[in-house]
Chain A
Amino acid sequence: MLGKTAGGLYWMFRFLERSENTARLLEAGFRMALTRSSDAESEWKSVVITSGTGLGYEKKYDSYSDTLVMDWLLRDTDNPSSVIAGTKSARDNARLVRTALTTEVWEAVNDNWMTLRDLLAKPVTTVDLPAALALIRKQSALVRGALHGTMLRNDIYDFARIGTFVERADNTARIIDVKYYTLLPSASAVGSSLDNVQWEMILRSVSAHRCFRWLDEQDMTATAIADFLIFDKRLPRSLAFCVKQTTENLRYLEQEYETRHPCHDLADKLGRQLKTLDINTVFDHGLHEMITEFIRDNNALGAQIEKDFRFIG
């Protein structure tokens, strides 16, 4: 496979994952603003910061409101993490690697782009937002379904999956990081309504609010939520799950190519670190420090993968 093609697949799925996560984040923020309108501005701000686009936003706007943030996250092409920008980049990368995709996957990505382009041609009002977000979610489910249902399990699939999980790990880590103070045990006046709303928001941004309740093993506490998001391998958006998936797909590549690269060592190291920690040691060590390190290491892993598989010349 061409290095460029591997890179195209990796980025195609990073962008798809990113725009889906942006939509999810917006959904959580919207609910939060509805339920706690008193401090809406700071909630919208934290949504933008979580999306990692705070700098770009502040260059453009002086304040935070539902209309502005919705537009920024959904439609603004100046925001590389907006739903429309991610969808467009994913589709451009799909065109680049079209020969590596099944017809079903290509058509799903192309249809995703055409549908969202039309959907987001005009500003979305708060009344229309739930329906718009539902459509965005549905479209990305279709792409994912086509990938799982039709692609050969070979290196093409591995690069697609690695892109997905490197991006997802980064997204989940940033959500934890922005909200980490609400997850500290000291901050948790158990059962206080303030924390409940914040936790709900965090869980919703990773589509895990119902999962958490299903597990029903513990009360909703800061420690339990942090543990869930970082260490629970059953949750498809937890850090441990993402790292496990990335490591696994990298191992398939190692077997198929009969070559072990530095990125394999980095991924193993990342996995080992998560294994040796538990939630109590994380709190002892400092949640914020741990997450910051994780984001840094995960980025380094991504960069090493690009280098080892010659994405660019």
Chain B
Amino acid sequence: MIRPDGSVTPPYAAYDAWFKCQDPARLESKAEEAEAFFRRTGITFNVYGQSEAQERLIPFDLVPRILSHREWAKLSKGIDQRVRAINAFIWDIYNRQEILRAGRVPKELIAHNEAFVPQMMGFTPPGKVYTHIVGTDIVRTGEGDFFVLEDNARTPSGVSYMLENRETMLQMFPELFSQIRVQPVSDYPKNLRRSLSACAPQACSGKPTVAVLTPGIHNSAYFEHSFLADQMGAELVEGHDLRVVDGRIAMRTTKGYRVIDVLYRRIDDDFLDPLSFNPDSMLGVPGIMDVYRAGGITIANAPGAGIADDKAIYSYMPEIVEFYTGEKAILKNVETHRCAEPEALQYVLDNLAELVVKEVHGSGGYGMLVGPAASKKEIADFRKKLEARPGNYIAQPTLSLSTVPIFVDQGLAPRHVDLRPFVLVSPQGVNITPGGLTRVALTEGSLVVNSSQGGGTKDTWVLED
């Protein structure tokens, strides 16, 4: 936002003018107000490994992250292209496997992949949609320069923060929104419902019944599950509320069992159906995979969709986009070294202090090494893990991420951010909510933005033209 010469970049000009007129003490009290609002509303997440009473707030920063209309147009075009390619890729993998036959993606990467679900072979989900909801993680290195960090194609979370952050800003600074024209995000729940309904299964007659499947109140994202169900006007169900009734999935209501057409599940594939996957799962619905394959229900996102957001597959995304769309990828991939390959491994081992190394199947910022921020001992320890299981890791250079300002005691200070826009896919098309969740590394110089690792969030503005 702030250039070395002290001027601000154009999208921030109007905000900067407003900010300069604010009394810091008033902003300080607004920040406290926001925190009290989050606590009262119960917008919390549970941290695994801590006692369940431990519900934490994700710190909220009151300075919005602002994108120009032009930047957003380019970004959303790139996401649209990428998400279409991902759906085509997943269908191909579970059907003809042409991309493997063409040798553009190595067969072993699929065959030995934990995210590959053999039960999906030869099956086309309703509407041919696999990733009904995608949260594409983006970083920006400069004006219009966007890289995709991760394609979250399973059950991306965080959209409730996008909505609540905006709501909070509207309550705290209504005057800002009359001065600056910001594209609204509040249609997301309505669009989600519409998008899911458009993917109703064959067996559905009439208006589709949608339900959200949660692991329960102790799950870290439970707030979001109940929030989305509430906003969509859908039922929030747990596995034990559901059973197979006459070839359909039905929920136990006070008036008996009622059929569900579309299930937005927020549990992993492995827990979905104890008859097909993890037999010990108490969270899923026995027999749901049979009903699914027979066209009795839509599961969103589709089981096995994770094959597309695996970090080893990620490095092939430019080829995947080109293979299915016939176009060059609009969004860049971060250069990725696959440690499974001996040459790449050697390079990574030689340059550990400069690289970010991630587990292929990891998430949440756990189990990763940020070379430039790590101590000698941390690097040495990580080297051992890497040498023991090279195929488990990929490595990427640290990007010179652009920073955005956050509100601190001394005024504004720059911090690194990423951005997760939320994307809905249905047979009617791809819908991207303008904005998304901006996560910010609150520690000076840090590149880790995960909420489980001390990151915060801020509202994300896409300006009207």
B253 contact from A2, A103, A110, A111, Cβ within 8 A:
A2
Chain B contact residues, majority secondary structure: mixed
A210 to B382, CA, bound (A): 73
B217 contact set on A, CB distance < 8 A: 92, 95-96
A169 to B253, CA, bound (A): 27
Asked if A2 and B251 sit within 8 Å, CB to CB, the answer is yes
State how many angstroms separate the Cβ of A23 from the closest Cβ of chain B: 22
Q: Does B39 contact A (CB under 8 A)?
A: yes
Q: How large is the interface on B (under 10, 10 to 19, 20 to 34, 35 or more residues)?
A: 20 to 34
A107 contact from B40, B226, B256, Cβ within 8 A:
B40
A155 contact set on B, CB distance < 8 A: 254
Q: How large is the interface on A (under 10, 10 to 19, 20 to 34, 35 or more residues)?
A: 20 to 34
Stretch touching chain A among B17-25, B133-141, B182-190, B234-242: B234-242
Q: Does A191 contact B (CB under 8 A)?
A: no
A6 contact set on B, CB distance < 8 A: 254
Kindly supply a per-residue 1/0 record for chain A positions 86-115, scoring 1 wherever the CB is within 8 Å of any chain B CB and 0 otherwise: 000000100110110001001100110010
Asked if A3 and B252 sit within 8 Å, CB to CB, the answer is yes
Q: Does B255 contact A (CB under 8 A)?
A: yes
A2 contact set on B, CB distance < 8 A: 235-237, 241, 251-254
Instruction: Give A88's nearest chain B residue, CB to CB.
Output: B53
Asked if B42 and A3 sit within 8 Å, CB to CB, the answer is no
Asked if B252 and A313 sit within 8 Å, CB to CB, the answer is yes
B236 contact from A99, A106, A309, Cβ within 8 A:
A99
Q: Does B41 contact A (CB under 8 A)?
A: yes
Q: Does B15 contact A (CB under 8 A)?
A: no
**Interface hub of A6, A99, A114 (most chain B Cβ within 10 A):** A99
B387 contact set on A, CB distance < 8 A: none
Q: Does A4 contact B (CB under 8 A)?
A: yes
CB neighbors of B among A257-313 (8 A): 257, 259, 309-310, 313
Asked if A99 and B226 sit within 8 Å, CB to CB, the answer is yes
Q: Does B12 contact A (CB under 8 A)?
A: no
Asked if A99 and B241 sit within 8 Å, CB to CB, the answer is no
Q: Does A55 contact B (CB under 8 A)?
A: no
Kindly supply a per-residue 1/0 record for chain B positions 27-61, scoring 1 wherever the CB is within 8 Å of any chain A CB and 0 otherwise: 00000000000011110000000000000000000
Q: Does A215 contact B (CB under 8 A)?
A: no
A99 contact set on B, CB distance < 8 A: 226, 229-230, 235-236
Asked if A110 and B42 sit within 8 Å, CB to CB, the answer is yes
State how many angstroms separate the Cβ of B253 from the closest Cβ of chain A: 6
CB neighbors of B among A163-210 (8 A): none
CB neighbors of A among B225-270 (8 A): 226, 229-230, 235-238, 240-241, 243, 251-256
A4 to B254, CA, bound (A): 8
A114 to B252, CA, bound (A): 32
Q: Does A127 contact B (CB under 8 A)?
A: no
Asked if A310 and B254 sit within 8 Å, CB to CB, the answer is yes
Q: Does B316 contact A (CB under 8 A)?
A: no
Kindly supply a per-residue 1/0 record for chain A positions 1-23, scoring 1 wherever the CB is within 8 Å of any chain B CB and 0 otherwise: 11111100000000000000000
B40 contact from A110, A309, A310, Cβ within 8 A:
A110
A95 contact set on B, CB distance < 8 A: 42, 217, 222, 226
A62 to B276, CA, bound (A): 54
Kindly supply a per-residue 1/0 record for chain A positions 203-228, scoring 1 wherever the CB is within 8 Å of any chain B CB and 0 otherwise: 00000000000000000000000000
A92 contact set on B, CB distance < 8 A: 217
A310 contact from B39, B41, B229, B253, Cβ within 8 A:
B253
Asked if B241 and A4 sit within 8 Å, CB to CB, the answer is yes
Instruction: Give A109's nearest chain B residue, CB to CB.
Output: B42
A106 contact set on B, CB distance < 8 A: 41-42
B254 contact set on A, CB distance < 8 A: 1-3, 6, 155, 257, 309-310
Asked if A313 and B240 sit within 8 Å, CB to CB, the answer is yes
A313 to B257, CA, bound (A): 11
State how many angstroms separate the Cβ of A50 from the closest Cβ of chain B: 29
B236 contact set on A, CB distance < 8 A: 2, 98-99
Asked if A4 and B255 sit within 8 Å, CB to CB, the answer is no
Asked if A111 and B40 sit within 8 Å, CB to CB, the answer is yes
A259 to B256, CA, bound (A): 11
B40 contact set on A, CB distance < 8 A: 107, 110-111
Kindly supply a per-residue 1/0 record for chain B positions 361-393, scoring 1 wherever the CB is within 8 Å of any chain A CB and 0 otherwise: 000000000000000000000000000000000
**Interface hub of B42, B252, B253, B254 (most chain A Cβ within 10 A):** B254
State how many angstroms separate the Cβ of A13 from the closest Cβ of chain B: 16
Asked if A3 and B226 sit within 8 Å, CB to CB, the answer is no
A103 to B171, CA, bound (A): 16
A4 contact set on B, CB distance < 8 A: 237-238, 240-241, 252
Could you list which residues of chain B lie within 8 angstroms of chain A, going by C-beta atoms? Answer: 39-42, 217, 222, 226, 229-230, 235-238, 240-241, 243, 251-256
What are 5 of the A-B contact pairs (CB < 8 Å)?
A4-B237, A95-B42, A95-B222, A110-B40, A259-B255
- Lowest 10 A-B CB distances belong to which pairs? A99-B230, A309-B254, A98-B226, A3-B252, A95-B217, A6-B254, A1-B254, A110-B42, A99-B229, A99-B236
